[in-house]
Every structure is written in structure tokens, then in C-alpha cells.
Structure 1
């Protein structure tokens, strides 16, 4: 009798786990677009039109369409900056695709967080794969999963393949297993300097700029930063490199917010994502010191 109850318990537990997993990964009718197309022409509208043609019940949103042209790294960052705030089951279509029409793979990544990413496998998935985890990767079958009568189009896969596939997934017109063949659980990645402490210094990368204001955002979180023992009000020595060539050497004051110093003064602070950042009160750190972002940029902090 005891063994019977134990068997029933484990059967119930297994069923619950299956239900939880299916709930987490189920599509939710939300489709979110990102591209480097800009909004000067009809490219974004065309992608959304294709999606609505699949299902007028879809809810369409945007991350941004102002990724700098061909900047795969920034596309990768904007996805990981945004996706965690969207519910599980959301489908993202990201099209920054300088290799459009070539042999690079078109894929859909399902992360362990339950989000779907439809994109060329060209480095765009670097950060979401790392931070949200890889549940499964499938290559898009471009014979079956593309807009009707688009076989002779080679330069707008965002419209013909990715928007179409993303819409079918988000609307549940297609299950994930119908995307195409399953691939190994890995994606193309872009190398970058990860945050680390050693020899009395903290090293990190500069993944992105706070574009509107010219602030420089690093990937150094508080846990790593605090190993230096800094307190608010201390001065921090900062060294910034591009491809290992020094671009900036200076000292900034560690503050909570910009108004803690005089206008025009350099500051070090933690941004809204709680990563160490550099700025100028009422000014642009990036513009003043010619510091930008990407996998080739790195930073060192020390006392």
C-alpha cells in the first residue's frame, strides 16, 4: 500500500512538472520586433503586415528599430535588456542580418525562461543564450516556413521568413517542433570581456551606451564591483581600452546619482539595471572621451 501511494505521488509530481513546463513555454499571442531598419521606409510595416496576415489577433510590439546598421552586438544586448520583462511565451523577431541570403542559419531559440527568439544565428543570440539559458534550438525550415510566393526573394528574410515564422509561433498556428530540425544546444556567439576581479582590479566590458545621454554602461554588477571595497563618495581610477589600446585614463567620483556632483563633472554610478556606469552631469561621457560600446571594448576599475 505504501509503495502504491509513493507511485501515485511521483506520477502526480511528473504530471505537474509537465503542466508547468508546457505553461512556461507556451506561446501567448505576443510578437515583439527588433531590427536595424529604422522607420524611414515601409520595411517594419511590411513585417507587421505579414504577421497580421497570419493572425489578426496577434499583439504586436517593438523593442527598437534603431539598432545601428549591421550592429549584431547591439541587437544581442537589446534583446537581453528587454526580454526578462516580458511574460514567458513571448516571441521575439530580431532582424539585424548583414549576411542575409548567405549560408548563415535561420533559427528559433527557446530559452529556459520560456521566451522564443526568431533570428539569424549570427551572434544576435549571444547574451540571451548565456543569461536566459538554452532550452532548445531549431533551424527554420525555409521551404515550409516562409511567406507564400517569396521563394525568389533573397534580401528580406525579415519579412518573408522571420516575421512569418514568428507570427505562426506566437499565434499557435504552429508548434515549436514544426519550425524545423532540432540543432545542438549552442548558438553563434560574439566574444567579449566578462566582469571579473583579480590583482586588485575589476575588469569588464562595455556592452552598450545609454544613447540619448551618452552614458557608458558596463557589465560590472555590484557583486563584482564591491570586491574593490569602494564606498559612495570615493574616487575610482578608470582605464578604458578598445581592442586593447588605451582610449581613456581618468578618475571619477562614485555617486548615487548625477545631481550629487556639479554640472559638467564626471561620475561613476549604478544604472537602472544595477551595472556600473560612467556619465557626466548634464553632459555626454561617450562624446567627450570618444568611448563607445561593443565586444571589442573593455574597462578596468581600481583604487
Structure 2
């Protein structure tokens, strides 16, 4: 009876560990799909375990654009099941002294990436439960020690696959680091003195819409509702590039073709569009930490 009871207790403790990772690996990079780089990463993962489920977040991050990599993780990670392992490779410093890490978020997701700013938004909005530096003496593809420029294949995909497949536990990734990461500076959403201020972190690239990091609830502090006109100013660093009054609408169908409109996007953040046109192309407005937007009556 004591033996049976002991097995029950063991099962209670082991079960949560066994389900910490779910066998899903999601890849993001700035590699594009013109060559075999992405396929090579997936091949390494499947060589670790052919039972893994592999998905793509995107491989169209503009070359070296760490900020956009950070945003796409922030946009996507929360929608995957807990235990999913993400690989994010936008790494102009590959082979240098920057840390290669795995971050476990407060939401229970793992991100394998260089610590170069890619984790900025996840760390801020989701939070860090624990972060570990990858021990490349253990978690590196066999016979790859002389390869210095493809850590996405040799270190990140390999480590992610070992973690997702339960080949290693999270504590076997490498030494634990302080719960902080390299962070890119940007304008956080704020309300003061009748003005809402924020950043343009990303474009809705297919349509040229401009997305801000300003939540709809913050705009509502101005005391206006959809249908009202809002004054919009957009700056790149300190240069004013756009200054117009724009109607805030619920749907694009409320505006004539070609009209500038403000709306709440799928993340419920304040955004700008030209109805059936490209706001970005029309006004040469782009995205990144250097772009700031203000909204007022």
C-alpha cells in the first residue's frame, strides 16, 4: 500500500513537469524564404525529434530589424498554448559576446533568442519568470563548433528542439541569469494634459495602415467617441511629419474611399489608415522606436 501511495505522489509531482513543454516549436527570423536557411533550422529540430510540431511566425522581418522581431513576438506569443517554444533569430551580432538565452515568460512560453533587444516587449508586457543562458558546450549541434555565423541553426533551433521534446529540462539549458534583458528604448503610451502620446511600433504591412501602442481605453480618456474628429501629430525623432484632423471610426465602411481614418485595430490599439489605400505610402510614415504619435481633441 505504501508503494502504491508513493507512486501516486510521484505522479502528482512528475505530471506538471512532463507537460511543461508541449512539443510545439515556432520559428521567426529575418532570413526570408529565398534559400535553405529556414529549412535547415527545421531539419535540425526534426533530427532531434521527428515528433515535434513546427510552425512559422514569420521569416519576413526586415534584415537586422530587432525592433520588429520584438513586436512580432509580442503580437503572437500569447495566442499559442502554454509550453510552446519560440525561436527568434534577428541577430546582426551573431558570433559576438551577446548572450544566447532562453526566456520563460510569466505566461508559460519559452523564447530562444539572442539577448539583443528582441525580448523588450515580452519582458515588459508579459513578464519574465526565469531566464537562462544557453550552455553551448552541451546545447549545440554536434560538429558545429567552427560555425560562427549561423547560431539559428546550430544553437537556437537545436536547443529549442531539445527543450520542446523533453530531451532536456529548462534548468539544463544553462546557468540562470538575473530576470532582466537588453531593452530597446521607445515612447510608452501615456496620457497627460489632454494629450495621448505613444509609439508607432509596427505597420499593418499588407495594407500600409499605421498601428500605435496606444490602447483604445487611453484615447477614450479624451472624452471623445467614434465619429469625433481627433488631431493627430506624427514625429520621427523630433521632426513633425503629419499634422491633421482625422475622424475616429468603428469600421472602414463608415468613410469614403481615400479618406484618412483613425480606428482601433485587432489588438484594440489606436491606428490610422487610408480607406482602401496605404497611409504609410501616402505620407511616408513608418515604424520603429524613433516614431512618436500624439492624439488630442
TM-score where L is the length of structure 2:
0.94
Q: Which residue is 1:140 aligned to?
A: 134
Q: Which residue is 2:219 aligned to?
A: 225
Q: Which residue is 1:3 aligned to?
A: none
Separation of aligned partners in 2, 1:237 and 1:54: 55
Q: Which residue is 2:192 aligned to?
A: 198
Q: Which residue is 1:274 aligned to?
A: 268
Q: Which residue is 1:54 aligned to?
A: 48
Report matched runs for 1:1-303 at 5 Å: 22=17, 26-303=20-297
Separation of aligned partners in 2, 1:298 and 1:19: 49
Separation of aligned partners in 2, 1:22 and 1:233: 52
Query: Per-residue deviation at 1:98?
Result: 0.4
Q: SS in structure 1 opposite 2:266?
A: coil
Runs of at least 4 residues off by over 3 Å: 18-23
5+ long unaligned stretches in structure 2? 1-10
Q: Deviation digits for residues 193-234 of structure 1, max 9, x if unmatched?
A: 111100110001111000000000001102211111111111
Query: Per-residue deviation at 1:143?
Result: 1.5
Query: Per-residue deviation at 1:22?
Result: 4.7
Q: Deviation digits for residues 55-95 of structure 1, max 9, x if unmatched?
A: 00000001000000000000000001001100000000000
TM-score where L is the length of structure 1:
0.92
Aligned-residue RMSD, C-alpha: 1.5
5+ long unaligned stretches in structure 1? 1-14
Separation of aligned partners in 2, 1:163 and 1:298: 35
Query: Per-residue deviation at 1:20?
Result: 9.6
How many equivalent residue pairs?
A: 287
